Amino acid sequence: MASKRINKMKDVIYIKDLRVKTIIGIFDWEREVKQEVSIDMEFPFDCKKAAQTDSIEDTIDYKTISKAVIKFVQESSYQLQESLAEGIASLVKDEFKVESIKLRVSKPGALRGAKDVGLIIHR
């Protein structure tokens, strides 16, 4: 008897290019001037129930998550984008009980000749 594999495809809820000013960087001047970071977040999530009920309680409330991330980032003062990304990922996973997150953090204009520089993590 062949076993049946159920391939449960998940939808994705995302937030793209959330811009927040914060203290970030390793140089002395970066510790004194707020710089803009850009944040993208993706949350795999089965949206079927929310679509059926049309209720915010059955989905990921991206407005509430955005507000929490903005507050967290504004109040932070990390040296590395890696540390900031881990902090954001932990906040979102712990506080909002999302199953997983794909997170991109970048500093637009941080590197001469490049549009931006950053990292992408999956947690």
Whole-number mean pLDDT of the chain?
93
* Full-model pTM: 0.89
Which domains does the chain possess?
29-122 (3.30.1130.10)
pLDDT band at 97 (very low <50, low <70, confident <90, very high): confident
Q: Are strands 102-108 and 116-122 parallel, antiparallel or unpaired?
A: antiparallel
Whether 107 is catalytic: yes
In this prediction, residue 8 carries a pLDDT of 62
Rounded Cα distance between 100 and 86, Å, is: 13
Q: Which of 34, 49, 107, 115 is catalytic?
A: 107
Whether pLDDT at 4 is above 80: no
- What are 116's strand-pairing partners? 108
In this prediction, residue 1 carries a pLDDT of 47
